[in-house]
Amino acid sequence: MRSIDPTCKFFGVLVSAVVLAIFYVPELNFYVLAACALATALSRVPAKHMLLFLLPAGLLAAGLYFSAYHFSSDTVVGAHRQMFTDARVLNGLLLSGRLLAFAGLGMLFSLTTNKVDFIRSLNQQLRVPSKFAYGIIAAWGMFPKMAGEYAKTRAAFRARGLSAGFVSPALLVPLLVKSVRWSEAIAIAMESKGFGEAEARTHYRVYRSGARDILFLSLPPVAVLAAGLMLG
Amino acid sequence: MSSPTSSSQSEPGGGALLLEGALFSYEKDGGHPALNGLSLAPGPGKITVLTGPSGCGKSTLLYLLAGLYPKYAGTLLSGSARLGGEDTAGIPPERRALLVGMMFQNPDLQFCMDTVENELIFCLENTAAAPGAMDGKVAAALDFCGITNLRHRKLQTLSGGEKQKAMLACIVCTDPAWLLLDEPFANIDRGSAGEIARKLRQLVDERGKSVVAVDHKLDVWGAVCDEVKVLGAGAGMPLLEGVCPRGAGGGAALSPLPGLGVDIPSRPYRAGGALPPAKPAPDADAAVLLTLEDVSVSAGDAPVISGLSASFEKARIHAILGASGAGKSTLLEAVCGFRKYTGSIRVGGREVSKIPARQIGGNVGFVFQNPQDQFVAPTVLDEVMTGLRFGAQGGQLSKEEKDAEAERVLRAAGLWRYRALSPYMLSQGEQRRLALTALLAYRCRLLVCDEPTYAQDLSSLTGLMDLLLERVRGEGMTLLLSTHDRKLARDYADRAYVLEGGALHAVDRPDL
């Protein structure tokens, strides 16, 4: 999975998710999840990372299952299936299963893709402007810093005798000021490193879509479609 | 990477870098010019250090030379910055980076990519280097900077010193003729600073590069620079060009500089030498304000300090030295209750973690390393008023007394004219003075300062330390500070310690 061109992988996963969304087949969701988990595991992603990725989705899915179970009428959404006698169970499984399937697709993409590779590939293959593409990479680097800064600002307020709740507008002001300053400093540094408007840049690694990449782009959506039609 | 022989020694490449009659202002109407008709021609094939008091326009002039201003800030009302006869700002960035490279003051805010290797590749791609040659250039630049082992490391996991070396590697791999440095050592330890300074010397000697650095600390530069230029306050005019012979005679050549507000490494900060005597404490029990017992603090999963015990006397200045990453900031933050700790930290007998938020201000004050981390109010005046309101004497002062006190301390700090501005609009040095002034308004018993004098020029450094000393001697405040500046610990502290391996070791001040 790691060697597939990130752009093709992205659209393969995205189109699969859209195709999945048109079917109301509970089993299909779980098949997709299983296929994603298998493909991710085969790409030598440690099981721990996969579990950590799926854990929040799992909790949400459980919540969704029970709310769908309790709050839906006995009318089944979409196609009727004989194997589920209780419509409430079916509704619960549909919603939670779909969430898990989407999480599985997301996991397959994000745990097997280097984000810098993805952005470079978008930049080269889809002609996403460099300014935008590299801006995103630079902003990515700022996010971990921001959480730490927020905690620091809270401590500063407390130390000065001011009480500030967990989410307080007063705390956002320093953060906002800082992020504007940071982005300006980074923009200046990028320009000093030769990053400009001109698209004359060369590419260390050239991203092109080969037969395998095209296959990944087209096969999963078709497979989901076929499975959906067969089971539906 | 060009080989050492490819650049001619007699005629360093890239053309002359000049500033001609630059009149530059940050204000829209051109008021309060930061540079007032300044002309400057740094010597090619040399290391030139520009120094002068905070706010004299030395960073401004560097950004103009680099072609980054006026695009990113301010207006150039007249004059020009030229490189090889061309207007520097008019040269497209991808070509300019091949002529001028720049290293910045804040190591954290100069990278765009995720890893060291990707950052270097980013620079090479920007400047349209041939893809086939990139691996070799990256390897050569990393090797030159001595950081081959960092090639695949995530930039955010590097220390400040490592980040500055990575930044130098970026410049080395694009190979410009001019290197401009904006206080490159302000945030890193002395060891790394010395290594980078030697690499710069090597670039000048072996590859014919030219270096222009802005700094108000000359200690690292003394051994490597060819020329020191001093800019006067306000007018932005060079007053003196002191040629600084490298090596032993460096100090002597710099001797005319102190009168110009420049810190000479070999001169003590305090003209009088010894500190004024401290009042002896009435009895041993009352003498100690801060006690640490078996204190352990972790950052994330990693233990930074484990089992540290120490006591600090009242009404003294305590300075903590130690290498970058030794845990100085972590320890100070724990003392102020910002960090979870195990063991016991008591100020005047009270456990720090149990002091209610309302009373913290009157007991323990903390001045952050970066003043921007601690501003809580929309204006400079409100920043000080917050201190008067929540401080030890908050309930006792009337509104008029508070107003008068705020005016008095702001005038003393030279910040009264900025009272209606946002703290973020002040210069770095002014922000630091404000941060300290606001904290002093609390009249806390223990003031903790994380590197209070970093990025300060000589007069603000001594001004600030004299102010703190006055509070300590006059009012019995206890000051605990961390610093990289050994001379500061020698000249201003009653007690000095080195934090190493998670433990505090007392050191004799005259040895520093």
Chain A residue with the nearest C-alpha to that of B154: A141
Name the residue among A137, A147, A120, A99 with its Cα closest to residue A203: A120
pLDDT of B6 reads 39
pLDDT tens readout for residues B116-148: 999 999 999 999 999 999 999 999 999 999 999
Whole-prediction pTM value? 0.80
pLDDT tens readout for residues B146-161: 999 999 999 988 888 8
The span from the CA of B166 to the CA of B150, in Å, is 8
A214 and chain B in contact, CB less than 8 A:
no
Q: Which residue has the higher pLDDT, B261 or B418?
A: B418
**Which of B106, B365, B372 is nearest residue A185 as measured by Cβ atoms?**
B106
The span from the CA of B166 to the CA of B118, in Å, is 11
Q: Which residue(s) pair with B238 in the sheet?
A: B231
Distance from CA of B289 to the nearest CA of A (A): 19
Least confident of A215-229, B235-249, B354-368, B452-466: B235-249
**Inter-chain touch A192–B101, beta carbons under 8 Å:** yes
Mutate to test the interface with B, among A119, A121, A123, A160 (most CBs of B within 10 A): A160
pLDDT of B428 reads 74
The span from the CA of A204 to the CA of B121, in Å, is 7
Whether the per-residue pLDDT at A34 is higher than 90: the answer is: yes
Work out how many CB contacts closer than 8 A connect A with B.
Answer: 161
pLDDT tens readout for residues B241-295: 555 555 444 455 555 565 666 777 777 888 766 788 777 766 666 789 999 999 9
pLDDT of B7 reads 38
The span from the CA of A194 to the CA of B102, in Å, is 11
Chain B residue with the nearest C-alpha to that of A117: B118
pLDDT of B318 reads 96
pLDDT of B271 reads 74
How many residues belong to chain B? 512
**Which of B68, B366, B378 is nearest residue A159 as measured by Cβ atoms?**
B366
Question: How many secondary structure helices (H) and strands (E) does chain B include?
Answer: 15, 20
Residue B200 corresponds to which amino acid? L
Q: Which helix (H) or strand (E) holds B408?
A: helix B399-412
Q: Which residue has the higher pLDDT, B98 or A140?
A: B98
Chain B residue with the nearest C-alpha to that of A172: B376
Angle between helices B116-126 and B160-174 (to 10 degrees): 30
**Inter-chain touch A202–B129, beta carbons under 8 Å:** yes
Name the residue among A65, A64, A95 with its Cα closest to residue A77: A95
SS (H, E, C) B479-499: EEEECCCHHHHHHHCCEEEEE
Question: Where do the domains of chain B lie, and which CATH numbers do they carry?
Answer: 20-250 (3.40.50.300), 284-511 (3.40.50.300)
Q: Is the separation of the CB atoms in B144 and B169 below 8 Å?
A: yes
pLDDT of B233 reads 58
**Inter-chain touch B110–A189, beta carbons under 8 Å:** yes
Distance from CA of B509 to the nearest CA of A (A): 31
**Which of A141, A173, A178 is nearest residue B111 as measured by Cβ atoms?**
A141
pLDDT tens readout for residues A165-208: 666 777 888 888 888 888 899 999 999 999 987 777 899 999 98
* Strand-strand pairing, B446-450 and B288-299: unpaired
Whether the per-residue pLDDT at B1 is higher than 80: the answer is: no
Angle between helices A26-42 and A211-231 (to 10 degrees): 150
Query: What's chain A's average pLDDT?
Result: 86
Distance from CA of A231 to the nearest CA of B (A): 44
The span from the CA of A147 to the CA of A168, in Å, is 14
**Inter-chain touch B125–A184, beta carbons under 8 Å:** no
**Inter-chain touch A189–B112, beta carbons under 8 Å:** yes
Mutate to test the interface with A, among B88, B126, B182, B332 (most CBs of A within 10 A): B126
Least confident of A36-45, B10-19, B239-248: B239-248
A150 and chain B in contact, CB less than 8 A:
no
Neighbours of A70 (CB within 10 A): 9
pLDDT of B324 reads 73
pLDDT of A76 reads 56
Chain A residue with the nearest C-alpha to that of B138: A204
* Average pLDDT estimate for A213-228: 91
Percent of chain A's residues with pLDDT above 90: 47
